[in-house]
Structure 1
Amino acid sequence: MIKYKRVLIFCLISFVLFIILQNIYPVPNFVTDSRMYIYGAADENSVVSYRPLGYSVFLKAVHNYNSSISAVVFAQYFLYLASTLFFLFTILKVFDLKPLYQNILFFFTLVNPPMLFLANSILSDSLFISLTVIWITLLIRILLYYRWMDIALMLLTLWCSFFVRYSVLVYPVLAIIVILLFLPHKLKKFSTIACILLLSAIFYQHTKSLVEDATGVSTFSGFGGWQLANNAMSVYERTPGAKVDTDDPDISLLDSLARKYADSVRKVNPNYNGVTEDDYMWLDASPFVVFKRWYRARNPFVDEFSAWTAESVILNKYAWDIIKQYPIRYFRYFVLPNARTFFIPEMNGLSAYTTPEIYQIPIVRQWYGLPERISNDANALLPRYLNEPFRDIYSLFSVAFVVTMLFYLMNPRKFILSAVPRKIIFSIAIFWLFLAGFNILVAPVHYRFIAMLFPIILCGILVVWGNYKKEGVRGNPGTAPTSKKYAADVAART
């Protein structure tokens, strides 16, 4: 049984901490991406940008309701709080956990410093994390209740998530696998899968058409080529003399610039690792940015965004040339280190507030009506002292989650779990596996990209060990003790 009084106490603690944080940092955290999102919200004609414009739509919607910048951070905070409670209450409807386990769940998921800091940032991370938690909760509810309403809401959440971050394109694959494996109702199973495929295809084609209309380049997103090429430079950083064999003049020029750059930084710092910081994507001296300037000089009528998008196609081919020619080195120098980083992620964006004085970014001042002189610099390092210890807790829970799932798979009869709870546990494991594989393969892992995993892996650990069958206790796995509320729902449905 859920003790709602204790839940309310944890919510109040979380809210008080957020109020304190918001008073310490009256201006939310801003980075370069923050300005792009606000430009997208303020510009009525924006249809495509370097990043998806879904977060810009969110900023615009909040601004239309309340033009204060505080309205944004409070909207993000309450959405995070609501999504987390929605997930936890759904889990606790099925698993009858001890009060101690419930307290651990609510404390670590609600009193969560990194999520509070992300909510107080003008970045898409908080919104995307909340949407992801809502989406996985609705997927679980589909397995519990088989209701059309949950299916419709899951599809709607998926559609909204598409526009916030393109990495969500891995979610349809996960949903299809879970529904194929665990949803017994054939009509709902295949109609849901058809809707997921249709939504994904419509979004992909729509976005690709917008990009092509704006730039003349037939590609889904310019970001992918830049990111993959940045990852592939891990080979050149650790392999003096590496070279791509190609007849393509653009690839040949890129390769020449990349080799010279890698050689020069290696001489200055033998341990240089610009891949983890995305240096090749953003530094003015990076070979890819130098190539973009050369491309624009050769095509003077091409604007900055179109040149960036066109180069992404070239960079994508260049990256695959490197990976195919040096597959073992790429695995050794990018994939393996990134797999380790998945368990101990970088705190990029969460170790310090980077907000400059507001007069340096007039679009923010104008959009939100802020005074010129507001600064957070005096407390810039506070996030490090709060967020990095929490990252270490996440690392411990991640290892514990893997050990727990492996132990459960090898010894299922040691746990008193009925069919539906087992489906939920497997769904959580599949979700973790997909996000782990995607993040490890696609880009250097930062905690803010995987923060949505924290409540999910913690739930996975506690619901498994909360149903561990002690020695000497008899029990049939098919008649597991689950939540009385869920049992009543099942009885009413049948």
Structure 2
Amino acid sequence: MRMQLMRYVYLAVCTMLVQFIVFKYFYPFPNFMQDSYNYLRSAAEQVDANMWPVGYAKLILFVGVFTHADTVLVFVQYCLYHICALYFFFTVLELTIVRRWTRRIIFALLFLNPAILYLSNYITSDVYFIGISLVWMAQLFRLVYQPSRWLLAAHLFVLLLAYTVRYHALIYPIVSMTVIVFCAFSVRLKIASGLLMVSMIGSFMLYTTAANQRVTGTRQFSAFSGWQMASNAVYAYAHMPRRPVLDVPEQFTGVHARVTHYLDSLQQVPASQRPDGKPIMAFYLWDAWSPLQPVPGAVNIADNSACLREMAAVAPLYNDYGKYLISQYPVAYFRYYLLPNFFQYAYPPAENLAVYNDNRDTVWPIAQAWFNYPSNKVYTRSDLRELQLFELYPALMLVVILFFIAGWIAYYRVGGPSFADIKFRSALRIGTFYWIVHYGFSVLASPVVLRYQLLNMVLGAVFGVMLWEVCREGKRHQSLVL
């Protein structure tokens, strides 16, 4: 068995190197989006707080201690993903008896996925967060059937690490604590781990709040959450067929006047040409001409510390304004934002994955400075036609969801819980619980896009394949009994 596992390690290393070398020939430069420049500026200025968590910026800074070569940074995050995916892969193989072809399919999903390769070339936290999340999920599986204090301590560390990289990790403590409650630990250890988890995350939040005050001048844990709340609310408000005159409280008069003036100007724009059209995107949060921007049309906020300080200053007000709009029009908010985003979760737009460098041939000054480029020009040796592949991924996500649900139904129809390995049953419940919680959080929190869904796509496909494998075994078991 050990020799078989080592073969997979060698195969993963070889496929990683081949894919990386071929890919970097066609894409000598990394892929940049608006988020990328914010992370690079956070690393360059060594700040401990920003619009997003700074965990990924710290990874950039760590690699920068040794070299500022962009290829090294891309390789490091691609390599980190492979290490994490191998841990997840070997954990999954321990859950139940997995046949050769099933193992190969799972391996391909984890290590030969084009989306992971292309996402690894982005200067963003996405693939780093996916890798951490795979380890976090695998540790949850192991805690149920292989509980140990060392594993629990490692899990708490990984949980905190995920929390520093992406705000989507806000749901991870809920899932972790629920699983730990059912693990074979003493009540005292469960309580202690819960208190330690709360204290770790609480300390991080307090530290980040204080850092935000030093960096932006406003004391808050995240300026991003206030802006996201306002952006979501304004999106729903903008798509109401009729908007009655709203007598807003005095503190909202300024921002509401800008919003209504902007929305009135959109009345002359055909629905198909509206900048805030479908699919749902964070237009009102990031577009330079959004009425929420303190200085509409200003230098792009992701590379402008002055603009970010202004955004942070109004974030508490925007948080209250967003909640106020939702409270005034809850039905419209459900109809024009929550419901479309609910379906968008199952069919997420490809967004940045389907383009290279935001369709530009230049990068911003912070990228040129950090990576020591001789000029701001970037290029590829590819004609970019292969990026059309990612336009198929939204449909693939829908197929994965239906495949997973169908597997669940078939699993119960053959009486899977009565004969399946207890390790698999526990992992399936954990994975399903995570997906349900993540679904609700994602729909409520922000517009769903493909790169946020790749982890769930992988999990759904892996468990879907394993469910059908168990169902096949169940039918064989039933035929032997008869």
Tell me if both proteins adopt one fold, taking TM over 0.5 as the criterion: yes
Name the residue aligned to 1:488: none
Within 2, Cα distance between the matches of 1:152 and 1:232? 40
TM-score (norm 2): 0.89
1:319 pairs with one of 304, 318, 322: 322
Q: How does 1:108-123 map to 2 (within 5 A)?
A: 108-123=109-124
Give the number of aligned pairs. Answer: 466
Equivalence map 1:172-321=2 (5 Å): 172-183=173-184, 185-243=186-244, 245-271=246-272, 272=274, 274=276, 276-289=280-293, 291=294, 303-321=306-324
Moved more, 442-451 or 464-473: 464-473
Q: 1:421: Cα distance to partner?
A: 2.4
SS at match of 1:470: helix
Conserved in 1, the CA contact under 8 Å of 2:338 and 2:444? yes
Paired residue type of 1:470: K
- Cα pair 2:48 2:211 within 8 Å, conserved: yes
* CA RMSD in angstroms, aligned pairs only: 2.6
Q: Could you tell me how far apart the structure 2 residues matched to 1:304 and 1:273 are?
A: 22
**Unmatched segments (≥5 aa) in structure 2:** 298-304
Partner of 2:21: 19
Q: How far off is 1:252 after superposition?
A: 2.3
Report the alpha carbon displacement of residue 235 of structure 1 after superposing the two structures with TM. 2.4
Quick one: distance in 2 between partners of 1:251 and 1:269? 29
Match of 1:337 among 337, 340, 357: 340
Query: Cα 1:422–1:244, aligned 2, differ >3 Å: closer, same or farther?
Result: farther
Give the alignment partner of residue 39 of structure 2, picking from 34, 37, 40: 37
| Conserved 8 A contact 2:410-2:468 | no
Q: Which amino acid aligns with 1:269?
A: P
Is 1:366 aligned to 2:369, yes or no? yes
Listed one character per residue, the Cα deviations across residues 172-196 of structure 1 (whole Å, up to 9, x for unaligned) are 0111112223445434322222221
Partner of residue 69, structure 1: 70
**SS across alignment from 2:122:** coil
Are positions 1:56 and 2:60 aligned together? no
Q: Does residue 354 of structure 2 align to residue 351 of structure 1?
A: yes
Q: Structure 1: how far apart are the matches of 2:265 and 2:222?
A: 31
> Tell me, what secondary structure is at the counterpart of 1:52?
coil
SS across alignment from 1:219: coil
**1:104 counterpart letter in structure 2:** I
Match of 1:429 among 432, 455, 467: 432
1:133 aligned partner: 134
Tell me the secondary structure at the aligned position of residue 349 of structure 1: helix
Give percent identity, aligned residues only: 25
Q: Do 1:352 and 1:383's aligned partners in 2 also have CA atoms closer than 8 Å? A: no
User: Under a length normalisation based on structure 1, what TM-score does the superposition of the two structures give?
Assistant: 0.87
CA contact (8 A) 1:236 1:259 kept: no
Range 66-75 or range 380-389, more displaced: 380-389
Amino acid in structure 2 at the alignment position of 1:319: G
**Contact persistence 1:353–1:376 (CA under 8 A):** no
Change (3 A) 1:214 1:7: closer
| Aligned equivalent of 2:302 | none
- Change beyond 3 A, Cα 1:293–1:194: same
Q: Is the 8 A contact 2:27 2:380 kept in 1?
A: no
State the AA in 1 paired with 2:48: V
Q: What residue number does 1:455 align with? A: 458
Shift of 1:394: 2.9
| Secondary structure at 2:28 match in 1 | coil
Q: Which residue of 2 aligns with 1:91?
A: 92
When structure 1 is superposed on structure 2, of 262-271 and 321-330 the one drifting more is 262-271
Whether the aligned pair in 1 keeps the contact of 2:9 and 2:86 (CA below 8 Å) is: no
Instruction: Give the conservation status (yes or no) of the 8 Å contact 2:81–2:130.
Output: yes
Distance 1:378 1:472 in 2: 54
Check whether the contact 2:26–2:381 (CA below 8 A) recurs between aligned residues. Answer: no
Q: What secondary structure, in the 3-state scheme, does the structure 2 residue paired with 1:375 have?
A: coil
Aligned partners of 2:184, 2:331: CA distance in 1, in Å? 40
> 1: distance between equivalents of 2:413 and 2:200?
37
User: Residue 401 of structure 1: SS of its match in structure 2?
Assistant: helix
